[in-house]
A and B are shown apart, each in its own frame.
Chain A
């Protein structure tokens, strides 16, 4: 990895703004579920805010994203509007998918958010197709597939990296290694220390990065995305992070040793980055507090909007199964 990609002050603040939105949104979502305002399957991303924030400040609206069920952080960072998102997870007509997709299938093509899958590993083969399409159209837009460490053990991962490598596709594969595949610890199911080592098997660069360090993650993302834009092919980024909550809301995560969790939470990337920005005089406490208050207000407004949106009418039950023939 080179040091050629260093985020400037405004970019560092832009990353913080995204991280704040993601963190507060996760907290608000869990509160909405626990207080009975919302019924949904929620896969918390608390602790993983850095990765999509650092990616997104390097991406355009015309770049594509294929993400997974634990992916609301990816989508928010990429620009999905809060109101559309909240109305969708509440199953309402104003949701981005008219309430027919839900939290695991959010889609928002205007920002390049093309596919959200509930199937482990399945973001990658489709991200290849989006990258292939952009390549055929002669564009320099890129396609990003995000997935977890568990997905690195499914066949689709290997098929996708191989095809992307032989076709030199403009795809960035981002493994958010949060150390647990559902309930199972990384080393129980993965025989090597670093998933990024698997890139070598396909002759592509593999970047191992601290996914909780915004500056390092920014550099990794910028390097891989620049490579893809330049037509030099795919990159596998393994970003090390930690999932602070259970696999799905309601999972007490008894399988994570207390000490491991405490250590990870003590190194929470959010307050660390916040303190760093102040220490480096990139922002004042008051400015960051204002960003946080603004995020909170926007999310509250989105929740109120969502809960006032109508449920889809029964005419939606069987529409959008097939398109109208030309």
Chain B
């Protein structure tokens, strides 16, 4: 049965195939056929049912905004203006939530059903929508700003080539004036446990300009590390407790991999990292979601998002490869 894609209006084959385009996708076509396709087709059947439900709710729900607005208007004009406003907004929000119900259910189904299966391609990795990285990691970090609320989700954890790693989507908030909270960080965080132990701490932060760097360095026990790469030096400020160890870590290859990692997630995003004790902690500030389903109108059998996801995971693994974090060297 051909299913028409609502966005492009072109028919999509009920039986999708995955075409390997890059070396790191080797073997995925086979995995797609054997392990993933069944889940995708099941999700696609569920999507069609939920899409119909969503359209039905929109047909009923949107016209209901008119009586809600009228009712709120009457209450505002003839009774209590404040109550009228709150009632209008409250009822409108409830109605919106009801209309969007099938969309939320679809997204949750995709995460639990497809993404949880997809990550198994990389080996011993598992996915949990509502878990997050331990807050202690953030508290001990030198690259995380001060915050009041930590929200995390879409937690991926396991081993890559023997290297334990975890990552999740994070939102950090800070209280401002009148106790109102505002977002100070939104993006991805990665925590990679290393087979090597580093003596000191090395931080790679976004360059804040001469004054910003000078002010930030005033209260830090870490020394500034000047690197030879002018492009990297312009974009980042590096400081560390051991000048030799910092340069051992920040080779040209690693700097290049770090920038590639940033670009595959979000070219406009900000990447920072920290080497401390036995782990590497990376943050990428981005407004894009990594583990989100596409719009409900778009077919689950469209493999373009899978290509993007594989590219993003490959860039994370390349960071492990270039640092040889998976090798024990006796030092």
Same complex for A and B? Answer no
Residue positions of B touching A, CB distance < 8 A = none
